[in-house]
Structure 1
């Protein structure tokens, strides 16, 4: 609020601001007319011309005065415009009209024009007469001219100013009254005790009362302050303030009080007081709206400060040089710096050195723009040294026409940027996957029209993506599946979740029908129209394979379920997972009775631990597992023998269990036992018979030896030789029966070839070279007999054999062991006959027995040599029947 008083004719006088301090000094007015127009106009009247001239010169020399002179009072009254002068200086002793008479005329006719009596007479009665008639000053002539005229100058100036002040005061009072009445703020003039002498209309307006309702406002305090105690306290406080101002020459401090209007509404008024002519001038200022605004502003400031200080982002302000003037507390969380560490530093300090050229260029680009500033990104350095990326959202900080700096928000987008980069890399990766996928990645709109098809469509259907874009999916689906496809897609859209894939038939470009599996996913819904994207997989081969597998399963299921043996499967714990129906016919159990039960339950209790250990051992085995026999019981309790032919299920560390065939060998075992019993009896009988026959032949040969000693006839001696030859044949055949009887009597074993070659039986004239070290074959324990017979054949029938060589080689999956010599060889026509029983010049049992021994474990033998170039026997060992270390 500014209150200004002026005299209405020139520029405003001293303004009073705020609490109108020292208003009394402000209510001053000056008549500036004389000075503005050339100084103070003075009329000097004296009957001595020389004194008139010298006085004029002295006064005008100061530059403040413009002096007119007159030789007498009469001349002055007749020839000069008395009212136009600011002051009159007159001598006392003059002809016709003296100075006192002249003073009386001036006062009677022209009022209070300043009048100074300047005379050489210093009589007391003259001075009294001058004062009594209204002279302003009396000055005696004589003495030092310089001092006298200086005194005169001072007196003129003083009296003029005083008169002007009095005139102005009268005028100002009128104008002040008018100003107070018209003032837009409440004004009162109060006595020192607080009672009101005068108030303007605005004061009445602010308390809501009229002068008629509150005559003389004697009780205005009670109207404005319903709380009597509060009113008394405030009035006493105001009086103390006034007393201090009077005693100490201070300004009265303003006071702000709540005032109750007539309507009951409370208003806040600031009262400023100033001492004014033994009273107190009080001016009120209605602060209600301002205080409300200040309160709202404060609340807003607090709200925005809270928003700034709790913002997850950094609020900042810099000057035009880039120096931080404010940083919000969040900078500590995001960058590790306290706000105090940043304020006063340059924004450039926060940017990594290698990034500064780019950042400075970017900031210049942004800050050089007018109007709204664009967003930009800039790297910054965290306190611990790692780099962050900020998105800067700036705005100008300005007063009209002048940019003071910039303020804005700094958002840490490091994670977002990393995520965007990761997403971009992911998009590139998945785009590459999509573009190189053997399957078809597709997208259709709500009408089923292709919006995207991956290149894989060409490999599968023969169509390029460009040929399909803009066309309907239904065009490529066989007619019998179109309705089903639309129904399935509609169901997908209504369920809003992933369902099982859809199989459709489509036509290849060359006309073939393909089976395609569609895996759709709902992407968007607009006005109940669904849009889909998904993958289409060519499952034609899979469907064909599944169909073939189904047929195969049906075939093998039929085989399993009609097999005369039991097909079974157990898990790692030995519990049945499957048992074929034949179990009922063989063992009397239904499959349902066995499912979930342990296989150990099917064997006698005493061998269960052994069986479980064997199963554990077999779990770690590789390759084929040999069949084994287990005793068991029928459902009705009778004993049975089952041959188990198992195979492991699963692979490597993922063994799942066993499956296989269970064959009822109970009858076979009974037959085998009967045969074994019969063989045992025959063996006993054969042994007794061989023993008796050999004893008899030995006895006969003894008698033959005695007879040869007695016979001298050559003919008779020849007959005796023939008898002995027959006896030797009988002995050889008896020995063969013993050997043949032992054939297969013991289980085959792995035998080293190097250990069964008869090195000790080779004659000194023959060299035997065997290259079979490390070779083992699975054969009968009589394998050494095979090689002894081969050696006997080479020695007995090779005629001139000097070298024998034994070697081995693989032939496909089999092993071929070769026995060859450098004798006369075997005639072509006898190559098979030599293996027949009884063929040859000797007993005829050697090679026959050798082939029989080998055949027990599936090993074959044949002669492949060339007649005249030595014999060559090849022993063929099948896969699995040999091993080489």
Structure 2
């Protein structure tokens, strides 16, 4: 008998056979368990079967159709009413169609007819059992797979999209909705894989051919909104990794596509940051001027920077994979190797000094700084090291030691005192030279005791405490400009007092001071002597009435003597550092400048000049002081006020001019008149006509009277030129002139301000007298005369006007000529000459028929308004 191998189905199928015939049950169980891979339980009734089903799970139930207490159909109904879907097969001898229909209608999974050949009957039974069980297991597995798929699909953090065979989206999981910022698949309904511009044609062709495609793309929400017209809650750009897999029914029928989409924006950013960081680190290592190298845990080189290549004379490619024994001398390699082993044994940092053989064959002193490289588990993977070349530093240290020895030798032999000491809380010395002891007049033993310096150096307790307080306060301030003390007296009873200057230089990092002291006794005495000499010189300078100024070559003042400050009305502080010409209101040096000439000639220069700002004539004498190279260092300028002298000279010159004028005029007029008298005298003597002779004698008499008048006029001017010109108040002069004439009924008004002064000869009074006399004598119908002033462009005009007949236009200039007029003919002529001597002028500007108007024109520098 052929049997089915028990190993063909595993595990064995658990069967429950129900039949009210005990022998049939036992025979069926025995045959099935022997022949097929099954485990069989039996029940002799439906009730017993229900109890067994409640206690154990079976893969299938086989029941006889006809049983006394409960038929197979009734048992089936009962089982299905409990919600159990255990496969159920009716095993019956009845072949009626209604039995089959009733079995299937009540949920039976199959039926087997009893009778016939036993072997065929049970093979058919087992085949149906096996088929039904496998089908149920397959359905169960599919259901479980579907449940798992839906769990994965719905709960996956990865976006999953399903597409039909045309590439149109049909499903998207919650992660996909969240990724793309949409509420449901309705938002992207109609989206097609093969119309997506972000996927290349090559990739789409691969997909159509049934291949899985993978690619990374940038997803632009804003662009997708415009192109696909779907509403997303997101904006901007993200980077996506997409894998699309074709789905097949069977082996070749394409049923759709499944896409897995992952947002890798952060990963990409991190990768780019990592890449940039690596590039930066590589660049940083390359820019480090010191050699840097890497080794693995076996001590083999794995990399280095360019500086290391240059130092050892090997390229990176030639270095990688080699050990220290391959590139360094044996003695140095053993040191390096031992230190590497030590570092690998005790991971961390390592610093030590050694030597390195450089590419040029020389050994350099270096410092190695190494650190172990470990993985996440803490296992040592290698090391990184940097070499600091200290050859130069070693040389410097050696030179520094020699320099320190040299400096100490120099300090010990300096003519000044030098010490290194603390100040707070007490003065203690770490070093002092011999001169420090000599200048402070103290012994070395005395300074060994902390803070004994003050008591040993300063005997006077009051001075000691005062100086100590000041020094400590200045030092504690931290302000180095305060740590300088001048003119410190070092006194000893019965000994000559000496003087020192001292200063401290802080060494902050060591809380020490460098104390320096030097002797100024000789200088102090010289300064005292110089101070006394300066006092004498100051007294001499201040006693000089002239202005003495000391100035730099650029005209900036250093100082004046007392006379200079008084004349300028300035203080030394207002003068110092300012150019001399600025004190009189100028913005540039004077055109005539003794200092400039002395500066260019490098010789003493003397000149005279008028300074209108001061209204003074000055004699300027500039003496250049030269340095050793012949360059002008200072200029000493002496300014003497020679105004009075110049005025006296002008007065003498004016007097001579006036005398020559009067003498010339008088001599000329008298000679003419004498000639006329002699002529008339001769005519009278020779004329036989007595009447004519009388006429000649009368004219000679008139000429004599004119001579008498001329002599009388000169008598009035006998004081002419005696007094020098000066500032004359015009108002009182006019008032004085009014007293010299008899105006009769004519009214004279003097409206000239009482403060007006004019620089003129005092005889200017005769000018105003002449104007009054002319107006009274020749004005005919004059009723009033007025004196007043006008100011025209800083020039002063003094006018005298009347309401008389006036002067014809043709005579307006002739009236000032010598001899014009009915009297002596020299009144207005002399007036004009008197005024012209001091720069004044006169003209007549009245209207003929309406009155005369005489104007005296006074230049701006010849008049002023005096404060009254």
Measured against the shorter chain, the TM-score band is 0.3 to 0.5
RCO greater where, 1 or 2, for CA within 8 Å and sep 6 or more? Answer: 1
Q: Give the TM-score taking structure 1 as reference length.
A: 0.42
Tell me the TM-score normalised to structure 2 length. Answer: 0.43
